[in-house]
Amino acid sequence: MATKRAALKRKDLLGIEPLSVEEIHLILETASSFQEVAARPVKKVPTLRGRTIINLFFEPSTRTRSSFELAGKRLSADILNFTASASSVVKGETLLDTVLNLESMAPSIIVIRHPASGAPHQLAGACKASIVNAGDGMHEHPTQALLDALTVLQKKGSIRGLNVTLVGDLAHSRVARSDVLIFSRLGARVTVCGPPTLIPLEMERLGARVVFDMDEALRGADCIIMLRIQVERQTQAFFPSIREYFRWYGLTEERMHQAAQGAIVMHPGPLNRGVEIASEVADGPYSVILDQVANGIAVRMAVLYLLSAGRG
């Protein structure tokens, strides 16, 4: 009798980097099972009844925070939402003090988003609660990469051997770093593309092919992940103008002809229409952007569940 007993042998989910291929598959398989819950008349299971999850967000977020909140609620956990602007952080409390205070409320899991890369790692060592990284600085955003992988898996059947292309601001994007890690680990050929000022040198070390020409990057792509241009950072002049950026690196209907038959287009949101992606593409038949949002809840349920099982 070969019952599969894979396990997520860790207290925290800090990034894709430390995860083994088996652990990634376990999370994705568990997430697929959780999708069924969303289709039920009663979209809730009692699994985490009596446990507390704290959402600790030091940066603005709608999608990720509400996705974690709904994931926790569908598992019957109690959720405490905590945003930095409305807390003692503005009175000068340090991150560690804030978290140790919250920990005395006995949460099982703390989900954290913080502008400093590595903040969740620091807390993981100091806290008994499981820490889930919901985005740290320019470092990682593991649940976004997991939901991207789940979306590709569902649309394409498998990830091994696919051509995955990421386009845009790879320098400031934690989604990009986690995506490059997960897709190359699962056996895809990963290409990254953008203006040279926005492509960090380490992309090749992470296993990606670096291309500066958009048409070349799109040629034969099965999956195109468009990254958000952080318009608010445009004071630093990484490229001459938004219009010029769109001309060279914007995803248009016309450019889609370069991609493979049946290619899909993803975007972690929020969209800048007419900056990195044309509306016809964002709303077009190849767009799976809204599937990504639905898959996000299932992936986060799987992560919360797997970190809780076997722990008090």
Partner 1 sequence: MKDAQQIMTATQMNEVLHDLAEQIVGRHPQVDEVALVGIRRRGAPLAHRLAEKVGALRGRKIPVGTLDITLYRDDLTTIAPNPVVHDTFIDFQVEGKVLILVDDVLYTGRTVRAALDSLIDYGRPRKVELAALIDRGHRELPIQADYVGRSVETREDQIVKVMLKEEDGVEQVLLVTQES
Binding positions for partner 1, rule: CB under 8 A: 1, 4-9, 26, 29-30, 32-34, 36-37, 40-42, 44-48, 75, 302, 305-306, 308-312
Shortest Å, Cβ 312 to partner 1: 5
Q: Which is nearer to partner 1, 26 or 282 (CB)?
A: 26
Of 33 and 241, which has the nearer Cβ to partner 1? Answer: 33
**CA 244, chain centre distance (Å):** 28
Q: Are the beta carbons of 183 and 167 closer than 8 angstroms?
A: no
Which CB, 42 or 201, lies closer to partner 1? 42
Cβ closest to partner 1, residue 256 vs residue 306: 306
Nearer to partner 1, 34 or 238 (CB): 34
Q: What CA–CA distance (Å, rounded) separates 271 from 229?
A: 9
Q: Distance between CA atoms of 297 and 66, rounded to whole angstroms? A: 9
> Considering the complex, what minimum distance in angstroms separates the CB of residue 298 from partner 1?
11
Residue 226's φ and ψ, nearest 5 degrees, are: -90, 130
1 vs 86 by CB, closer to partner 1: 1
Of 5, 4, 7, 6, whose CA–CA distance to 311 is shortest?
Answer: 7
Nearest distance from C-beta of residue 86 to partner 1, angstroms: 33
Minimum distance of partner 1 from residue 23's CB (angstroms): 10
156 class by beta-carbon count within 10 Å (0-12 exposed, 13-18 middle, 19+ buried) = middle
- Give every CB contact of residue 233 below 8 A, 6+ residues apart in sequence: 172
Q: How far is the CB of 123 from partner 1 (least distance, A)?
A: 23
Shortest Å, Cβ 133 to partner 1: 20
Q: How far apart are the C-alpha atoms of 171 and 203, rounded to whole Å?
A: 9
